[in-house]
Structure 1
Amino acid sequence: MEMQKEECCAPKRLNFNSQGASCSTLPEAIGDEDEAQSTSANIDGEELVSDLGVPRVGLEFCSEEAVYNFYNKYAKQTGFRVRKGKPQRSRLNKDTITGKYFLCSCQGHKSKKQIEKQTLYKRRDTRTGCEANIKCVVSDGMWKISKVVLEHNHSLEGCLAITHGRADDSCATMTHSTDKTVDEVRTVGEQALVSDVDSSDVPRGTWKIHPMLEHKDTQDLIDHFKNRQIEDPSFFYTAQVKAASGMANFFWRDSRSKIDYEHFGDVLVLDTRTEIKKYGMICAVFWGLNNHRQRIIFGCAFLVDQTVGSLNWLLRSFVEVSCHKPKTIITEVSEEIADALRVVLPETAHCLQFWSILNGFKNLSTLSDRASVGNLFRDCVFHVHSQVEFEFKWNSFIGKYKLHENRWFASLYGMREKWSHAFTKNVFSAGLISIQNNEDARAIFGNLSCKTMTLSQFAQQCEKMAEHMRRKEFLEDMRCEKISANLQSKNPVEKEAERLYTKPIFNMFQKELSNILSLSIEEIGGKATLREFKLTEQGSMNIDTVKFDPSNSTLVCSCGKFESVGILCFHALKVLNFMNIFNIPSRYLLKRWTKSAKDSLPLDSPRTGTARDGGPDNLFMGEFMRQALHVAYMSVNKKRKRKAMAIMKSALEDIAKVPKTE
């Protein structure tokens, strides 16, 4: 029998410049470079899901189960059942699997012994010697399809009829496992490209039945994104089609979000609490704080589920279009998010917000006095100055309420370095970890959860809310330029802070400055090059220490206020006052909190583009577009716009005078 074998169709990655135009294609390691070829796909058509589900040489998976689930999905659509062949093992180590076949259930024939065996009931023999199969080779833990035979020697309809009546049928189990097979489609403008198959470990208990996403709803959303790209050439969107369910994940961000992230992307919040009720999907939002401590949006996504696979894809999509990786990312309590972050952003600090931890108290029905428990728990979160103090208060708390056997608190303790101030005080979070009130902790798009809203309508509402936030930011910018704050003293430090900081940040600083009156200070040792002070707050048992280096005005306080929030604490300000220093050392003036935070390009942002993207021309184009975007968004009034256009016109004339041969 002639065996059919599909050619290798290794995916490629498509790179885009700042205008969304295709720059170049590069073969991925998933397939052989010599055999790699571009595979186009039409995201508008329903053929996409079925085409992506067909086995082909070169596809890679992270586990045997992922391969089995992928082939099962194809078998279910085609009309046959799957069984596993015997594994091929290494000659040097019998425990190491080097390859395996996944076969049609009609493969082979019964042996003579099986046929002659006397049984009470004779089962129908379905073996036909069918040679349809896929073969995988295993290397470095990855399962790669090396051989594909698609042709069967029997009626597929008949095979399907047999499997329908079986509870242990390989296809019947797919309702809980097919989501592990993901086909990725990258979409920019009219272009789409099939990407690699991603096999993710999906927790068994998190499967959710979703209403089917209608083709028209998907097309409307994509049409909306295309229109946005016409209006905003730097608008970016990408989609990931889930072949198992016909659903899709989407991520997008506009040019303003790109600019905002360059300035304020040091701290990133991933909020996944908003549900799109019509489809049971998640609206995930990346957001942060601007220099007025207002929320700003860095990107949005629609997710089919909150599995590791979907979150891996989402984080990769965000990182690929960002100028830098965040220093800190803040999320809700989620094992799936934590697993995805360890893979995609291993060097980024991961912290948990207080509101997310408090949600767990709802499930503690055994605790009668939750308010009292909550107050004591807050001490473990905020009112601890060292890890030793945390351990003491935590053990006292657990012992008082007899929570030694409580699994939720045991799990929480295991994550203590992500939420307790004793562990996070040296992690810059812009003060977001300590948000406690419901207003500040609300889901950013929580009030959009309308039961009848389609995806395109939901996306448009997200964009309207983002524009509303930007209008508020503009008004606050104007207010900062016109209105001076009321100074409470003649202290030059206060006057300098009022001149440099935005109003909300100055208010925070002014409160710290006023609190130095309640502190007593005592020098407790040190050398000429490093002096140490003990500070005690009146009416409090808390003692903080500040180390000060006179040679460069370096301050290190045990409370960690500057490291976590970005402004000097009243302990450090007390030491400066004691040392007769009446200005804020420049190293303690974070530009992200100043009035001029957006007036120039961030110096520490890497250049957009690399040699891999097509050489110096693309590097120049990416950087030029980056600077042009900043100029455009700085031109907030008619005078600035006229100035920008005049400079652009002059630049065109001057460049035209330079000979091209030079």
Structure 2
Amino acid sequence: MDSGVRAAVVLPPGVVRGSAIAGNLNGGGDPRLGGAGDQPAENQDGSGDFIGPDDGVTLEPYVGMEFDSEEACKDFYNAYARRTGFSVRIGSTSRSARDRAIIGRYFYCSKEGFRQTKNKGDSQENKKRRVRLVTREGCPAKLVVRKDGSGKWVVRIFVKDHNHPMVLPNKVQYLRSHRSSSTTAQSLIDNCMEAGVDVNLMMAYLKKEAARITKLGILERDSGNLASVARSKVVESEDAQAVLDYFKQMQAKNPGFFYAIQVNDEECMTNFFWVDGRARTAYKYFGDAVTFIMTHRPNKYKMPCALFTGLNHHRQTVFFGSALLLDESESSFVWLFNTWLEAMSGHQPFSLITNQEHALGAAVARVFPETRHFYSVGHILKKADEKLSQLYQTHKNFREDLQKVIQTSETVDEFEECWRTLCDAYDFKENQWIHSQYKIRHKWVPAYLRNTFFGDVSTTERNDSINSIFDGSANVSTSLHDFIMQYDRSLESRCEKEMHADFETNSMPATVKTAWPLEKDAAEVYTKTVFRKFQEELLGSLAYIAEVKEKDGTSTTYNVTKFGQKTRAHIVKLDAANVRATCTCQMFEYSGLLCRHVLIAFRMQNILRLPSHYVLKRFTKNAKFGIVVDGSSGRLLVDCEESFTFRFNDICNLGIKFAEDGSASADLYRVALHALDRAFEDVARMKMAQLSH
């Protein structure tokens, strides 16, 4: 779990920590704006308009100045700070010895003091942390107020001088204590959320209403957190409690069920994560390539649903965990990723595809340092429709040509050459968005990703499959509890489809269409769906010609072209002695199946059998049997030397698979019980031997 500060919360009676009920990650502060550290002062002028530069008489505090309340002191000092050009941080309090009521308050410049350094022996020292900017400079400026006998709050100490430059008036809205919205702004946000308006569209509207961002008083990155306030106002405690009760029931039925709920400072449940034992077991076999998807909001609170998905041995979508999030902030994603990683016994995926969002990218970098992270090309092309609409209107063929360059370029050199041609043809040198995407092309352009295993996780049919999970099962009036139950029922139907695919694969032999023994080998080892994909490549190879380009000992380089088409050639290097081949299309590297170009080279060298090192276990009929090894990286995913928690969860997950297989028939049931009897005897014998030592 994340190592951030946990809030002290009071949960309903009888609540237990499922696998974890996490506290607030913000460590205090305005729950709308997030962040960490001391709580910022609000800047409410009561005008009912967007917060902007104050128009009142410029005043500064003085010793003896009186206020009716502590809140009035804070508002005045914060308004003074805004005019002057610094940010306020609320400091310590003084309390009455008689009744512990607050009778004194310290207000500081946000640059007061110095950052505390961690103890060198801290167990957290070796953990990777995000580098934070140094904001403390030992500034002496402060305001100290104390409540007198009449109930007035009187200024006792005022230090005016600062040891740092003041912020210019046109930049002051970026200071933390001045980044808050007025009542009108929050009301607009509430109305937008009630209507289901997207956060980005909401910010665009607010900017237009405010005329200038300086009048708005909030930053764009704050909009998601401000929107979360609108959601939290209408989330019913009964609904949240019903979700918790449901999770507890599921865990009681299935020890492999894992859930976590994040709780904020107001003791409200905010973010929800859950995953069942079957999904955790599936991750051991198919978790090498993962796609993280944020869906629409099919529930009454407009909470986005986050899904971790992959591809199983039948090329079906498999789910590795689900979440409902209050907002799409970096802190929420960090909490979710850490929680998910805990549920998956700490094993990071080999590759991860997400949408291109700043908060997502920052969270992935913090939590998955070993994972190769890429952006969804489909998501970027969808954004292109919005960002390049003017170019699309001016040049009717530009959209088609752009997508062709991105989607069909097989090598980096081919992409770069086609990109230069596209630039010259349409002259989009002035478009900043295109250039910003080009700078990070290694994160999303397919030609740059072909050396990384994805298992075809980003195909269009999978996206359609994921969207269909919500068809008719949830709408804007659906409670969280009902949404989660309906979602889980939909997953049950998907498990049945996988079982049916297992049945078809094992009971109905695939039809081979050639006399090539290699095809027969593939039919015997692959599942029926994967075999059809392989067979497509094998039959397609018959339309290709392989010409020897270079020969060096046992290694031969072929120039492979389609019969009658010389426009595109693929280079295949084949070491016949070791039956090792590479192709410029790199299909095996990213999909796990041999391409037609390598297969025609095999035929040229009379390689008749399917080499075992080109068969990934994750695509075979026996994908879910035995020790699990990641086919792309060779990492052992089942490690019995892990912690007690891991060993316990691992045995629970394997037990679920054993129960599913062993209960399929009466004969299998008897065999399973007999195997369990022997296993219990072996474990008891080992336990007694350990105790005797």
- TM-score relative to the length of structure 1: 0.73
SS at 2:12 equivalent: coil
Inter-partner Cα distance in structure 1 for 2:433 and 2:349: 29
Structure 1 segments unaligned to the other structure (5+ residues):
1-12, 15-27, 32-37, 85-99, 108-127, 160-166, 179-200
Q: 1:593 aligns with which of 619, 631, 636?
A: 619
Shift of 1:422: 1.4
Q: Percent identity?
A: 25
Q: 2:115 aligns with which of 138, 148, 151?
A: 138
Q: 1:136 to 1:498 in 2, by over 3 A?
A: farther
Shift of 1:533: 1.3
1:67 and 2:95 correspond: no
Answer whether contact 1:274 1:445 (CA < 8 A) is retained. Answer: no
SS at 2:464 equivalent: helix
Deviations 1:25-69 (A, max 9, x none): xxx6x79xxxxxx98743338x999x979989xx9x9x9974254
Answer whether contact 2:298 2:475 (CA < 8 A) is retained. Answer: yes
Q: 1:515 aligns with which of 540, 543, 554?
A: 540
Inter-partner Cα distance in structure 2 for 1:587 and 1:634: 28
Counterpart position of 2:586? 560
1:335 and 2:363 correspond: no
Shift of 1:70: 5.5
Counterpart position of 1:275? 297
Answer whether contact 1:303 1:310 (CA < 8 A) is retained. Answer: yes
Answer whether contact 2:7 2:265 (CA < 8 A) is retained. Answer: no
| Matched AA of 1:345 | F
Counterpart position of 2:553? 528
Counterpart position of 2:479? 454
Shift of 1:539: 3.7
Shift of 1:552: 1.8
Inter-partner Cα distance in structure 2 for 1:538 and 1:378: 26
Answer whether contact 1:251 1:301 (CA < 8 A) is retained. Answer: yes
The 5-angstrom pairing of residues 611-650 of structure 1 reads 613=643, 621-635=648-662, 637-638=664-665, 639-650=667-678
SS at 2:10 equivalent: coil
Shift of 1:250: 1.0
Shift of 1:215: 1.1
| Matched AA of 2:389 | S
Q: 1:373 to 1:557 in 2, by over 3 A?
A: same
Shift of 1:493: 0.8
Inter-partner Cα distance in structure 2 for 1:478 and 1:425: 33
Q: 1:173 to 1:350 in 2, by over 3 A?
A: closer
Counterpart position of 1:215? 237
Answer whether contact 2:290 2:351 (CA < 8 A) is retained. Answer: yes
Answer whether contact 1:329 1:351 (CA < 8 A) is retained. Answer: yes
| Matched AA of 2:312 | N
Deviations 1:371-397 (A, max 9, x none): 733431232223213222212212333
Inter-partner Cα distance in structure 1 for 2:525 and 2:223: 52
Deviates more, 1:501-510 or 1:415-424: 415-424
Counterpart position of 2:349? 326
Counterpart position of 1:182? none
Shift of 1:535: 0.7
| Matched AA of 2:115 | V
Inter-partner Cα distance in structure 2 for 1:55 and 1:507: 53
Inter-partner Cα distance in structure 2 for 1:55 and 1:505: 49
Q: 1:71 to 1:451 in 2, by over 3 A?
A: same
Shift of 1:527: 1.5
Answer whether contact 2:292 2:306 (CA < 8 A) is retained. Answer: yes
Counterpart position of 1:10? none
Shift of 1:232: 0.8
Inter-partner Cα distance in structure 1 for 2:658 and 2:150: 63
Q: 2:370 aligns with which of 344, 347, 354?
A: 347
Inter-partner Cα distance in structure 2 for 1:575 and 1:227: 57
Answer whether contact 1:379 1:393 (CA < 8 A) is retained. Answer: no
Q: 1:243 aligns with which of 248, 265, 269?
A: 265
Answer whether contact 1:329 1:348 (CA < 8 A) is retained. Answer: yes
Q: 1:409 to 1:647 in 2, by over 3 A?
A: same
SS at 2:692 equivalent: coil
Counterpart position of 1:574? 600
| Matched AA of 1:647 | A
Answer whether contact 1:67 1:143 (CA < 8 A) is retained. Answer: no
1:365 and 2:379 correspond: no
Counterpart position of 1:482? 507
| Matched AA of 1:281 | M
Deviations 1:184-209 (A, max 9, x none): xxxxxxxxxxxxxxxxx982354424
Q: 1:313 aligns with which of 323, 335, 353?
A: 335
Counterpart position of 1:42? 10
Aligned length: 554
Inter-partner Cα distance in structure 2 for 1:246 and 1:344: 25
Counterpart position of 1:496? 521
Counterpart position of 2:458? 433
The 5-angstrom pairing of residues 257-272 of structure 1 reads 257-272=279-294
- TM-score relative to the length of structure 2: 0.70
SS at 1:269 equivalent: strand
Shift of 1:335: 2.1
Shift of 1:433: 3.5
| Matched AA of 2:353 | I
Deviates more, 1:649-658 or 1:339-348: 649-658
SS at 1:382 equivalent: helix
Answer whether contact 2:560 2:597 (CA < 8 A) is retained. Answer: yes
Counterpart position of 1:550? 576
Answer whether contact 1:267 1:429 (CA < 8 A) is retained. Answer: yes
Deviations 1:576-609 (A, max 9, x none): 1111111111111001111110122314444467
Shift of 1:280: 2.1
SS at 1:413 equivalent: helix
Q: 1:220 to 1:434 in 2, by over 3 A?
A: closer
| Matched AA of 1:275 | R
Counterpart position of 1:204? 222
Deviations 1:506-565 (A, max 9, x none): 111111111122111112114214321111112431111111223321111110100011
SS at 1:350 equivalent: strand
SS at 1:252 equivalent: strand
Deviations 1:629-655 (A, max 9, x none): 442343350233332222112333455
Q: 1:356 aligns with which of 369, 379, 402?
A: 379
Q: 1:170 to 1:439 in 2, by over 3 A?
A: closer
| Matched AA of 1:490 | A
1:465 and 2:486 correspond: no
Counterpart position of 1:20? none
Shift of 1:307: 1.3
Deviations 1:174-233 (A, max 9, x none): 45999xxxxxxxxxxxxxxxxxxxxxx982354424252111111111111111111111
Counterpart position of 1:117? none
Answer whether contact 1:130 1:154 (CA < 8 A) is retained. Answer: no
SS at 1:67 equivalent: coil
Counterpart position of 2:122? none
Answer whether contact 1:253 1:298 (CA < 8 A) is retained. Answer: yes
Answer whether contact 1:55 1:71 (CA < 8 A) is retained. Answer: no
Q: 1:653 to 1:421 in 2, by over 3 A?
A: closer
Q: 1:624 to 1:415 in 2, by over 3 A?
A: same
The 5-angstrom pairing of residues 19-168 of structure 1 reads 41-44=9-12, 66-69=36-39, 79=71, 81=74, 102-103=90-91, 130-131=105-106, 137-139=114-116, 141=132, 153=147
The 5-angstrom pairing of residues 1-16 of structure 1 reads none
Q: 1:203 to 1:54 in 2, by over 3 A?
A: closer
1:380 and 2:387 correspond: no
Answer whether contact 2:284 2:628 (CA < 8 A) is retained. Answer: yes
